[in-house]
Amino acid sequence: MFLRKIAVALALFYSVFSSQLSSAQTIRLTVDLTDAPRNIYHAVLNIPVKPGPFTLVYPKWIPGNHRPSGPIPNLTGLRMEAAGHSIPWDRDSVDMYAFHMNVPAGATELQVSLDAVTQSGNAAGTGALASSNVLGLNWNEVVLYPQGTRPDDVQVAASVNLPSGWKFGTALELAFQGRGRITFKPVSLITLIDSPLIAGSHFRKVELTRPGETPVHVIDMVSESESGLAMTPADEAAYRKLVAEAGALFGARHYLHYDFLYTLSDQVVGRGLEHHQSSDNGVGEQTLTDPDQHLLEAGLLPHEFVHSWNGKYRRPAGLATPNYQEPMRGDLLWVYEALTEYLGDVLTARSGLWTPEQYREALAQTAAMLDHRAGRKWRPLEDTARSVQLLRLLGPGWQNWRRGLDYYSEGELIWLEVDTTIRQQTRGQKSLDDFCRAFHGAPSGPPKVLPYTFDDLVRALNDVAPYDWAKLLNQRVNEVQPRAPLAGIERGGWRLIYNDKPNIHVYAAEKERKYQDQFYSLGFAVTEAGELIDVIPGSPAYQAGIGPGMKVIAVNGRLWSKDLIKETVRSSKDNQSPIELLVSNAEFVKTYPLDYHGGLQNAHLERANGEDLLDDILKPLTK
């Protein structure tokens, strides 16, 4: 209640603020990316100023990250000049993102030089943004802007130069290109930061719209090799279908053109960051041709695409802040991220990037993972959203007790419950598709933000199908719920089961990420070397005293191997004696008996009674 009030207040603040447009001032930004292979970008900003005390700030709260992730430690080589003189600057002693200075009399422009180190700690998380062959540029990493201004009111004329022979993709519109310099049409700082650029020595553009058709959709791909760009005709067709299906789902588009920026590299950070007119997607180099990577990453572009409607256009009021320094509030991320996750996965199936069986296997794994989450006994789902800034970069040790960013996956189950409830309440006349058309739809137009509150959401759901949505959502989100919300799967005509047949997504992930998932049998995941990644509290392994960070050395007296543990679990059904694990904890070893006789436990969905609503949900809307 209290937080919802704050959200309403912020929404008002936002709209009042939006109407107070002051005269625009244009910053010139020149970025030299020729040093990208060693992960340092050089930038010069020319900022109009007046004499007197002046403060510049570095963007701190980055949209889509939902946390203060602006990589301030990576800001280096900072120098200020005005009227031909060097100007001393002073970092604020409390706010690490603010720099104070005095602009001398007569100066009208401040020249700021800076370098951004892009080796790690960028907006995407960990890992480098550039390699010998590719780069990603998030403009927030190379800009400072005057404190107290609205990024909407600050105009930036940006240009870049690239390593020789590299080509680029971005949603920014080109002004002109020549002598190695690429100059973009001036845009607001908001639009600039919302329009990242990728570039690489291996580049391919795939047109997703027919000539003459608008808005234009393209995939801009960069990779470490030509083979990394080998998108099959079937995938190209599926992405065209994705564009059509998203259009049919929402009934309007809130962009003038759309660029899927797609980086295929094992050298740079894997990522997925949404923007209004583009998305920044990073996957492994062989994702287009390796069947396991393809399966695991199929939902990425659909997810980020859906964000253009859900997250960028419609945004929770607490995340629609007036500038990059204002803290964001993570409440309602179970709409922002989870409805996107739900619709993204549905569109992955509707566009043919997944078969219905692949969709169901993904859903089964999500449901099983959440139903075994021990942390749900103490932490309500909303707290995982509100705590995004604490949880985002933590490792997997004790994650089952702490909970991770569960609002994504658990929210997906909740939105399935909402969808199947609407379908049942209206006897098949309405669905969540109708909600999307009303909440995210017409009119089409250029990017804009329409903030909403919990009450707005409930009202919009009630307009589609009258129901006590506030009660349902409050129960699911704000109450401690020891079991995962499986009602959507059950209303959909399916049930969650476990057997010894591998789940296809877990099987692919185990091969790709070189680990073993025994979460629903012994209660742990373990690397191929025997290191325990996490242990579920309450599981046989936990009861025996084993914890994450320890290492399995032997199983029933025989040296550890991943195949040995799998065979031992499989045969545990016919075995009366406990499974004995010899485990090291730093320098000490100990034998732990695990009293387990349940065999392999892999999650699947099995058809139950009633109508197969899941099948209806996955049917494409377009021919």
- Binding residues for Zn ion, per CB under 5 A? 337
- The CA distance from 200 to 132, in Å, is 9
Cα–Cα nearest to 196, from 179, 172, 216, 215: 172
Q: What's the sign of the alpha-carbon dihedral 390, 391, 396, 400?
A: positive
Our CB check for Zn ion shows the closer of 184 and 334 to be 334
Shortest distance, position 307 Cβ to Zn ion, whole Å: 6
Shortest distance, position 306 Cβ to Zn ion, whole Å: 8
Q: If you ran DSSP here, which 8-state letter would residue 47 be given?
A: E
Our CB check for Zn ion shows the closer of 59 and 344 to be 344
Nearest residue to Zn ion, by Cβ distance, number only? 337
Shortest distance, position 133 Cβ to Zn ion, whole Å: 27
Our CB check for Zn ion shows the closer of 31 and 333 to be 333
C-alpha count within 13 angstroms, C-beta hemisphere, residue 167:
11
Residue in the block written with tokens 């899941």: 614
Write the single-letter amino acid at 276: H
Cα–Cα nearest to 596, from 521, 498, 538: 521
Q: CA distances (Å), 623 to each of 233, 242, 437, in order?
A: 18, 12, 19
Our CB check for Zn ion shows the closer of 138 and 568 to be 138
- The CA distance from 351 to 238, in Å, is 5
Q: If you ran DSSP here, which 8-state letter would residue 253 be given?
A: -
Angle at which helix 356-371 crosses helix 406-425, to 10 degrees, equals: 120
Shortest distance, position 386 Cβ to Zn ion, whole Å: 17
Shortest distance, position 609 Cβ to Zn ion, whole Å: 34
Shortest distance, position 341 Cβ to Zn ion, whole Å: 7
User: Strands, E, within 470-528: which ranges?
Assistant: 494-499, 515-518, 524-527
Angle at which helix 406-425 crosses helix 338-350, to 10 degrees, equals: 70
- The CA distance from 278 to 257, in Å, is 8
Shortest distance, position 421 Cβ to Zn ion, whole Å: 24
Cα–Cα nearest to 494, from 607, 357, 363, 618: 607
Our CB check for Zn ion shows the closer of 292 and 337 to be 337
Our CB check for Zn ion shows the closer of 275 and 376 to be 275
Cα–Cα nearest to 558, from 580, 542, 528: 580
Our CB check for Zn ion shows the closer of 30 and 195 to be 195
Given its phi and psi angles, is residue 368 left (phi above 0), alpha (psi -120 to 50 degrees) or beta? Answer: alpha
Our CB check for Zn ion shows the closer of 413 and 496 to be 413
Our CB check for Zn ion shows the closer of 312 and 372 to be 312
C-alpha count within 13 angstroms, C-beta hemisphere, residue 535:
21
Shortest distance, position 407 Cβ to Zn ion, whole Å: 11
Shortest distance, position 311 Cβ to Zn ion, whole Å: 7
In 295-316, which positions are buried (b, 16+ CB within 10 angstroms) versus exposed (e)? bbbbbbbbbbbbbbbbbbbbbb
Question: Which uninterrupted H or E stretch holds 53?
Answer: strand 52-57
Residue-by-residue DSSP string for 67-90: BS---GGGEEEEEEEETTEE---E
Shortest distance, position 280 Cβ to Zn ion, whole Å: 12
Cα–Cα nearest to 508, from 214, 295, 256, 361: 295
Residue-by-residue DSSP string for 264-291: E-SSS--EEEE-SSEEEEEE-TTTTT-H
Our CB check for Zn ion shows the closer of 224 and 337 to be 337
Shortest distance, position 302 Cβ to Zn ion, whole Å: 11
Our CB check for Zn ion shows the closer of 70 and 411 to be 411
Shortest distance, position 269 Cβ to Zn ion, whole Å: 16
509 within 8 A of 296, measured Cβ to Cβ: yes
Cα–Cα nearest to 604, from 344, 355, 362: 362
Our CB check for Zn ion shows the closer of 47 and 335 to be 335
Shortest distance, position 344 Cβ to Zn ion, whole Å: 8
Shortest distance, position 469 Cβ to Zn ion, whole Å: 23
Our CB check for Zn ion shows the closer of 337 and 410 to be 337
Helix segments in 272-405, DSSP class H: 291-297, 300-306, 333-336, 338-350, 356-371, 381-386, 388-391, 399-402
Our CB check for Zn ion shows the closer of 115 and 337 to be 337
Our CB check for Zn ion shows the closer of 411 and 523 to be 411
- The CA distance from 164 to 177, in Å, is 14
Tokens of 390: 């604490």
Shortest distance, position 336 Cβ to Zn ion, whole Å: 7
